[in-house]
């Protein structure tokens, strides 16, 4: 039995071609998202325009200032925001599913959505419709809600299993949602504004949202990706993982904190975009196997591509009216996931 | 020095005592079998040694307290084969065995060539290298047990804990698993502490037996001293005859009740 030959059988759960395909998908989606709009721009012009801005590259796209401004001030910030939000939500969803060993876990599991909703509603109804304040209030609300969930779960003795934490999340979410509904009812005139925030949207005013989200998204995704092997160890259960030397309590806290912080930042700039965090990781799981070493990196890429493409549909399907992107993700994602589920013979 | 020393160990679940003040030592290359009725604390004692439940008292590996060395270091010294291991159906056997290398890797680290080599050797050691690419969900009972054992071997620990390793296996596969463990402890001087409910098998494979009842260690020593009909009637409530087999081995035969 030659050793190299037999070692070849322990293949990495993540293949290079899968990673390359993921990158190609994201690049294609970003390009498509930048081209398409009320004024279409050719892919060559978009590429030349972007390359032309790089140092030491002199390419002239031939676009006039107005077109260049459409690319740089409107389209690019929007597609990049979509990509960042999608990548963060998909990575957070996949990580939650791993850390709680629960396929139904989504990024909003521990009360992030309800907390952000209350924070945003409070600011919007207070008449401070300063757009810059809403994301910050939503972010603070989301982080507070998750922290409360964690404290409640830990106080109830939830160190051994994640179930107590999930139940605490249910309680906190119910409480914050009730508070949010109450505030909203008391201020009927702003219902429309609050509602549109809750449905999720990717509208940008220049680069400010991208700049706000980017550091949180990058940090969260990095920390989650670094836990991909440990999430595989955890998949044999809490007790066996501990016998294998994993401090499961500490690991769960780190993963939950990273995923929640990333989700909170994403929700703060884009509202509640459902479905991405649950459909993307499961689609990856069905196509690439159950190892988190494949699920997490491919979910980051798949989530980015999915949300950018969903945004293209949201902008163009009923142009000039925009469909809320949360509606599109569910409308497109639902049937797509059903197809994947049917065609995949592999069990999760 | 003992590979593992259990000293005054108690385990309680929500105030309910499962193991009470047990002292026990297993030397390098020695096999000690825990016997006793259901609920006597065999599994709880193994879980305490594996570090997956809180315990009072001291558990030492090569004379060093497991609390001092920390969880990851302890996992390099002791490997656990649980009675009902959880096998994710979509995971390949090779990946599963690789999980046994976790205690040898840094928190953030990914497996290196060396980890792959040790894992593959563990599978080869159990003649299970052909299972490497198979999904866990597709394995038979005997194959599952070999893969779980391979994960424990990949851990390269000096103490192996087996919780009823023959559960659900037919006689041939029971012997196969126990023979593998026997070879390992001879080859590598691994100390084995196992719970075994089949007393005849326990007598054949273990050097010493430890009889637990109600969480207490009620008898410990040579198998001929422990496995007597009176002892088993008293603690397990079992009606048995203890006889000698053709090669002088101890055989425990259950007897049905005499009804008029």
B15: left (phi over 0), alpha (psi -120 to 50) or beta: left
Residue B28 φ then ψ, to 5°: -60, 135
Distance of CA B141 to the CA centre of its chain: 17
Q: Which two tokens stand for residue A257?
A: 């904190």
Name chain B contacts of A242, Cβ cutoff 8 Å. Answer: 51-52, 71
State whether A10 and B72 contact (CB < 8 Å).
no
* Three-state SS sequence of A219-267: HHHHHHHHCHHHHHHHCCCHHHHHHCCCCHHHHHHHHHHHHHHHHHHHH
State whether B120 and A226 contact (CB < 8 Å).
no
> Does residue B78 belong to any structural domain of this protein?
yes
Q: What is the pLDDT of residues A7-63, one digit of tens each?
A: 445 677 888 999 999 999 999 999 999 999 888 888 888 888 888 888 777 777 778
> Does residue B101 belong to any structural domain of this protein?
yes
> Does residue B190 belong to any structural domain of this protein?
yes
Q: Considering chain A, what is the average pLDDT of its residues?
A: 86
- pLDDT at position B147 is 94
Q: How far apart are CA B85 and CA B87, in angstroms?
A: 6
- pLDDT at position A348 is 43
> Does residue B195 belong to any structural domain of this protein?
yes
> Does residue B77 belong to any structural domain of this protein?
yes
Please name the residue of chain B whose CA is at the shortest distance from the CA of residue A157. Answer: B14
Provide the residue range defining the domain that includes B208.
4-227
Report the CATH number that the domain containing residue B101 is assigned in CATH.
Answer: 3.40.50.300
Please list the residues that pair with B7 across neighbouring strands.
Answer: B58
Q: How far apart are CA A233 and CA B109, in angstroms?
A: 13
User: Radius of gyration of chain A from Cα atoms?
Assistant: 21
- pLDDT at position B250 is 86
List, as one string, the DSSP characters of B194-228: EE-S-HHHHHHH-SEEEEEETTEEEEEE-HHHH--
Distances, alpha carbon B189 to alpha carbons A130, A311, B45, B174, B195, in Å: 72, 63, 22, 22, 19
> Does residue B239 belong to any structural domain of this protein?
no
Q: What is the pLDDT of residues B187-227, one digit of tens each?
A: 989 999 999 988 889 999 999 999 999 999 998 998 888 88
Question: Is the Cβ–Cβ distance between A134 and A289 less than 8 Å?
Answer: no
Q: Which of B247, B53, B241 is nearest to B163 (CA)?
A: B53
State whether A240 and B85 contact (CB < 8 Å).
yes
Q: How far apart are CA A22 and CA A283, in angstroms?
A: 13
- pLDDT at position A39 is 85
> Does residue B159 belong to any structural domain of this protein?
yes
| Cis geometry, peptide bond prior to residue B72 (ω within 30 degrees of 0) | no
Number of domains in chain B: 1
- pLDDT at position A164 is 84
Of the pLDDT bands very low, low, confident and very high (cuts 50, 70, 90), residue A161 is low
Q: Chain A interface, mutation test: which of B53, B69, B72, B95, most A Cβ atoms within 10 Å? A: B95
Name chain A contacts of B120, Cβ cutoff 8 Å. Answer: 3, 6-7, 9-10
Tell me yes or no: is domain A78-343 CATH 1.10.3470.10.
yes
Question: Is the Cβ–Cβ distance between B99 and B69 less than 8 Å?
Answer: no
Q: Where are the domains of chain A?
A: 78-343
Arithmetic mean of pLDDT, B150-161: 95
Arithmetic mean of pLDDT, A4-8: 45
Q: What is the pLDDT of residues B1-39, one digit of tens each?
A: 689 999 999 999 988 899 999 999 999 999 999 998 888
Chain B nearest C-alpha distance from A251 (Å): 10
State whether B99 and A3 contact (CB < 8 Å).
no
Please name the residue of chain B whose CA is at the shortest distance from the CA of residue A232. Answer: B99
- pLDDT at position A1 is 38
Residue B207 CB coordination number (10 Å): 15
Name chain A contacts of B48, Cβ cutoff 8 Å. Answer: none
State whether B133 and A11 contact (CB < 8 Å).
yes
Q: What is the pLDDT of residues B160-188, one digit of tens each?
A: 999 999 888 888 889 988 999 999 999 98
- pLDDT at position A128 is 59
> Does residue B143 belong to any structural domain of this protein?
yes
Specify burial of residue A39 (Cβ count, 10 A radius: 0-12, 13-18, 19+): exposed
Q: What percent of chain A has pLDDT over 70?
A: 93
Of the pLDDT bands very low, low, confident and very high (cuts 50, 70, 90), residue A158 is low
- pLDDT at position A347 is 46
Q: Which of B129, B34, B26 is nearest to A9 (CA)?
A: B129
DSSP A159: T
Chain A nearest C-alpha distance from B107 (Å): 8
- pLDDT at position A80 is 95
- pLDDT at position A345 is 55
- pLDDT at position A4 is 42
């Amino acid at each position: 039995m030659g050793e190299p030959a037999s070692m070849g059988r322990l293949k990495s759960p993540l293949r290079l071609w899968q990673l390359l395909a993921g990158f190609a998908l994201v690049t294609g989606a970003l390009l498509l998202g930048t081209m398409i709009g009320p004024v279409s721009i050719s892919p060559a012009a978009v590429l030349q325009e972007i390359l032309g801005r790089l140092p030491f590259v002199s390419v002239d796209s031939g676009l006039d200032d107005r077109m260049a401004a459409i690319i740089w001030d409107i389209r690019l910030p929007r597609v990049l925001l979509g990509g960042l939000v999608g990548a963060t939500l998909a990575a957070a969803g996949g990580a939650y599913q791993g850390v709680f060993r629960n396929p139904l876990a989504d990024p909003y599991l521990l009360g992030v959505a309800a907390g952000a909703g209350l924070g945003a509603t409070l600011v919007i109804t207070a008449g401070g419709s300063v757009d810059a304040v809403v994301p910050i209030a939503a972010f603070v609300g989301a982080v507070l809600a998750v922290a409360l969930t964690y404290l409640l779960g830990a106080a109830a003795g939830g160190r051994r299993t994640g179930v107590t934490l999930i139940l605490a999340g249910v309680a906190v979410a119910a409480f914050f949602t009730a508070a949010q509904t109450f505030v909203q009812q008391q201020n009927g005139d702003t219902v429309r504004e609050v509602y549109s925030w809750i449905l999720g949207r990717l509208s940008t005013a220049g680069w400010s949202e991208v700049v706000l989200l980017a550091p949180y998204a990058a940090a969260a995704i990095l920390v989650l990706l670094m836990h991909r092997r440990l999430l595989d160890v955890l998949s044999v259960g809490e007790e066996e993982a501990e016998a294998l030397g994993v401090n499961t309590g500490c690991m769960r806290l780190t993963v939950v904190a990273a995923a929640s912080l990333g989700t909170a930042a994403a929700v703060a700039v884009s509202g509640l975009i459902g479905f991405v965090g649950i459909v993307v990781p499961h689609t990856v799981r069905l196509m690439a196997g159950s190892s988190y070493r494949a699920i997490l990196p491919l979910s980051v890429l798949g989530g980015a591509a999915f949300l950018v493409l969903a945004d293209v549909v949201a902008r163009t399907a009923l142009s000039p009216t925009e469909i809320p992107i949360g509606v599109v993700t569910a409308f497109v994602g639902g049937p797509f996931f059903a197809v994947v589920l049917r065609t995949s013979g592999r069990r999760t | 020095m003992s590979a593992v020393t259990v000293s005054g160990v108690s385990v309680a679940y929500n105030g309910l005592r499962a193991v009470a003040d047990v002292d026990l030592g297993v030397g390098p290359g020695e096999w000690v079998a825990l016997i006793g009725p259901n609920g006597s604390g065999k599994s709880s004692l193994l879980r305490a040694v594996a570090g997956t439940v809180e315990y009072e008292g001291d558990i030492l590996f090569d004379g060093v307290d497991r609390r001092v060395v920390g969880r990851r270091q302890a996992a390099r010294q002791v490997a656990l084969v649980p009675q009902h291991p959880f096998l994710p159906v979509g995971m390949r056997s090779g990946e599963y065995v690789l999980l046994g290398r976790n205690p040898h890797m840094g928190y953030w680290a990914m497996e290196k060539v060396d980890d792959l080599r040790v894992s593959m050797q563990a599978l080869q050691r159990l003649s299970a290298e052909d299972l490497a690419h198979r999904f866990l969900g597709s394995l038979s009972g005997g194959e599952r047990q070999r893969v779980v054992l391979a994960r424990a071997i990949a851990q390269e620990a000096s103490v192996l804990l087996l919780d009823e390793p023959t559960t659900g296996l037919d006689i041939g596969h029971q012997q196969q698993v126990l023979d593998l463990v026997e070879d390992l402890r001879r080859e590598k001087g691994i100390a084995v502490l196992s719970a075994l409910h089949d007393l005849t098998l326990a007598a054949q494979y273990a050097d010493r037996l430890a009889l637990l009842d109600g969480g207490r260690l009620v008898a410990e020593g040579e198998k001929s001293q422990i496995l007597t009909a009176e002892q088993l009637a008293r603690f397990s409530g079992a009606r048995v005859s203890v006889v000698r087999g053709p090669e002088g081995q101890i055989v425990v035969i259950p007897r049905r009740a005499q009804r008029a």
